[in-house]
């Protein structure tokens, strides 16, 4: 009988201990939201063709997972036309739909938004929304373009997109009964006023992130004017700026302003394009991840990427496989592995090595211990 009582007492003690452990683990659990950002998705006819019936981004799938996965969509789709190159890009509906497998948020504020006119942009946005994906930076029914204000795991977040460039064709905002308006502000003063107006809609201590299309193309060093614009936006309440347009990676900056502190990503570079070889680093991109914790800690991670063309027919530059790889390791030690019989050219090898060094130089300041636990807002 005593033995039974002893067993009962031990069972009750173990039950209480288990409950205590569960309570401790619940108290220690910190909720978080993960946001992932990439650079420009361009469309060139050869690129569009290479995506047909292939999962080109398969090797990046582990890095393109988050509550929000964002890309700058730098093309529209006019289904009455074939894919078209620069200066007026046009994609295919299948090419657009492919990216819905990996991304759930797109910026439609950039200098190629009007390439095929308001009708094409309006139909592109309609296709995005039909597939339950989100857009920022543009509207098909109002000039009063609203930001995205959301709450993920009890973490309030503000997201919006703006461009300072339109290629001189934003007059195409009304066409055949279709409308498309975007956050286009070529003057710094107007841009700041619009962003300040939008920030007033954030009333729950949101982390304020904007995508900004600005700066000169093809140079890795931000211009003085570009730096001034970005820093002024931080001073006026923006926490993180994600830059696009130069088509090459640019540095990151932790800016300690007089009124506010923030992070500036001057450019994430190309994610997918056919600019290869014209200037250095056009084939190097970055996948930037932010883990935002409920206690306002922010952890940054980055993964360099590289895209390469492998020609099936040496006599034709129109017949190639497009391959994009994460540069996981120092390529001086180990190059990104190819699953096929393809071999990296000397150009590819040098571009990967130089790109890896550049990205680590530009972004390692975001991942050291002092920054990974910083509080911005």
* Exposure of 31 in the CB half-sphere (CA atoms within 13 A): 8
246 contacts 265 by C-beta, under 8 angstroms: no
Q: CA nearest 198: which of 160, 244, 157?
A: 160
pLDDT attached to residue 21: 47
pLDDT attached to residue 301: 96
The residues that bridge with 241 in the sheet, in sequence order, are 210, 264
162 contacts 213 by C-beta, under 8 angstroms: yes
Whole-model pTM: value is: 0.91
List, for residues 326-337, the tens digit of each pLDDT value. Answer: 999 999 999 999
For 347, residues 6+ apart whose C-beta sits below 8 A from its C-beta are: 277
Distance CA 133, CA 227 (A): 32
Determine the average pLDDT of the residues in 39-53.
94
Determine the average pLDDT of the residues in 26-30.
62
* Exposure of 65 in the CB half-sphere (CA atoms within 13 A): 6
Q: What rounded mean pLDDT belongs to the chain?
A: 91
Whether 262 has a pLDDT exceeding 60, the answer reads yes
Higher-confidence position of 216 and 19: 216
Q: Report residue 7's pLDDT band, with 50, 70 and 90 as the boundaries.
A: very low
- The answer to whether the bond into 251 is cis (omega within 30° of 0) is no
Whole-angstrom CA distances from 321 to 157, 259, 292, 356 are 39, 50, 37, 22
pLDDT attached to residue 25: 45
Q: Any idea which of 26-40, 79-93, 143-157, 168-182 has the lowest mean pLDDT?
A: 26-40
List, for residues 173-202, the tens digit of each pLDDT value. Answer: 998 899 999 999 999 999 999 999 999 999
Whole-angstrom CA distances from 344 to 47, 248, 353 are 19, 21, 12
Q: For each of the domains in the chain, give its residue range(s) and CATH number, in order of start.
A: 30-372 (3.60.21.10)
Distance CA 362, CA 250 (A): 7
Residue 22 tokens, joined: 């569960």
pLDDT attached to residue 24: 40
For 80-86, which contacts have Cβ atoms below 8 Å and span 24 or more sequence positions?
Answer: 81/116, 82/45, 83/43, 83/44, 83/45, 83/48, 83/49, 84/43, 84/45, 85/44, 85/45, 85/274, 86/44
Whether 149 has a pLDDT exceeding 50, the answer reads yes
pLDDT attached to residue 198: 98
Tokens 């932790």 sit on residue: 254
269 contacts 246 by C-beta, under 8 angstroms: yes
3-state helix, strand, coil split of the chain in percent (to 5) is: 30, 30, 40
Distance CA 164, CA 195 (A): 13
pLDDT attached to residue 312: 73
Determine the average pLDDT of the residues in 95-108.
98
Determine the average pLDDT of the residues in 55-77.
98
Q: CA nearest 271: which of 39, 48, 101?
A: 39
pLDDT attached to residue 311: 80
Determine the average pLDDT of the residues in 204-229.
97
pLDDT attached to residue 176: 87
pLDDT attached to residue 3: 46
pLDDT attached to residue 50: 92
Determine the average pLDDT of the residues in 117-125.
96
Whether 234 has a pLDDT exceeding 50, the answer reads yes
List, for residues 90-101, the tens digit of each pLDDT value. Answer: 999 999 999 999
Start-end of H helices in the chain: 2-28, 45-50, 93-98, 117-130, 188-199, 224-235, 346-363, 369-372
List, for residues 313-361, the tens digit of each pLDDT value. Answer: 665 666 778 999 999 999 999 999 997 788 999 999 999 999 999 999 9
């Amino acid at each position: 009988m005593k033995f039974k009582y002893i067993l009962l007492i031990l069972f009750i003690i173990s039950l209480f201990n288990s409950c205590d452990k569960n309570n401790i683990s619940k108290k220690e659990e910190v909720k978080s939201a993960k946001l992932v950002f990439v650079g420009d998705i361009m469309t060139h006819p050869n690129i569009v063709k290479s995506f047909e019936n292939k999962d080109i981004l398969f090797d990046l799938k582990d890095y393109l997972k988050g509550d929000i996965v964002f890309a700058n969509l730098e093309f529209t789709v006019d289904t009455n036309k074939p894919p078209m190159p620069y200066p007026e890009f046009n994609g295919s509906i299948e090419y657009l739909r492919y990216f819905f497998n990996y991304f759930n948020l797109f910026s439609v504020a950039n200098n190629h938004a009007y390439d095929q006119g308001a009708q094409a942009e309006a139909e592109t946005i309609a296709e995005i929304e039909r597939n339950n994906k989100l857009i920022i930076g543009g509207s098909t029914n109002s000039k009063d373009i609203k930001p995205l204000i959301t709450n993920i795991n009890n973490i309030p977040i503000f997201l919006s997109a703006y461009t300072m460039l339109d290629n001189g064709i934003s007059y195409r905002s009304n066409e055949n009964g279709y409308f498309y308006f975007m956050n286009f502000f070529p003057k710094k003063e107007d841009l700041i006023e619009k962003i300040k107006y939008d920030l007033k809609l954030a009333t729950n201590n949101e982390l304020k992130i904007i995508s900004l299309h600005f700066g000169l193309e093809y140079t890795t060093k931000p211009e003085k004017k570009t730096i001034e614009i970005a820093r002024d936006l931080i001073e006026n309440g923006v926490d993180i700026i994600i830059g696009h347009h130069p088509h090459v990676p640019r540095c990151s900056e932790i800016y300690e302003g007089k009124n506010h502190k923030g992070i500036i990503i001057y450019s994430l570079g190309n994610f997918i394009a056919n600019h290869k070889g014209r200037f250095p680093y056009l084939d190097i991109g970055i996948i930037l991840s932010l883990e935002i914790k409920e206690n306002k800690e922010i952890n940054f991670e980055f993964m360099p990427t590289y895209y390469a063309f492998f020609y099936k027919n040496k006599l034709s530059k129109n017949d190639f496989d497009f391959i994009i790889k994460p540069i996981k390791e120092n390529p001086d030690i180990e190059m990104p592995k190819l699953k096929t019989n393809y071999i990296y050219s000397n150009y590819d090898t040098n571009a990967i090595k130089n790109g890896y060094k550049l990205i680590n130089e530009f972004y390692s300041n975001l991942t050291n211990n002092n920054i990974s636990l910083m509080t911005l807002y």
